[in-house]
Structure 1
Amino acid sequence: MARSELESVRAVDGPCVPNCCRVLRLHGRSLPRFSEQREFNKPNDDRALHVVTKCGQAVMEELADIVTAYGPSDEYSFVFKQKSRWLKGRAR
């Protein structure tokens, strides 16, 4: 029987390297369709950039362990404190 995606991640899951910052990268989904529906101008419509920035801010407000974030395009990378126990220190 096929395993779900989550089960396969658990199978290879292990702890992160100690004394390193953890970075979580979130990638936007269906951005071309989302942009087309809202008639965003390519490549850098101010309205689209505002939406992505607001999403990044919302994540940072929710998770206090984030030190900084960087958002090029439709993805955001969040850097967590070294001592963060978010996701219990797992790599995935």
Structure 2
Amino acid sequence: MNAVDALDMVQEAIWTVIVASGPSVGVAMAVGIAIALMQALTQVQEMTLTFIPKIVAILLMILVTAPFMGAQLFSFTEHMYAKIETGF
């Protein structure tokens, strides 16, 4: 294994993490913006109001997208094992 192979592996690992976590991060951002807008309009600055809906939305999104995330991680793992098996 040389430096190019190592960089390819790291790049693929980072891309897999970005793709797998993208839906959850997107929902967290959307819920956060909606709550911030609501707080700005009503001038209610309660700290728990921001955390609880985000946590619930992220957990629901993880439940919905768990098969997709698992498939991404499985595909990455299979690809890495195939590279190890063939000697890069």
- The TM-score with structure 2 as length reference comes to 0.28
Higher helix share: 2
Question: Normalized per residue, which structure has more strand?
Answer: 1
Larger radius of gyration: 2
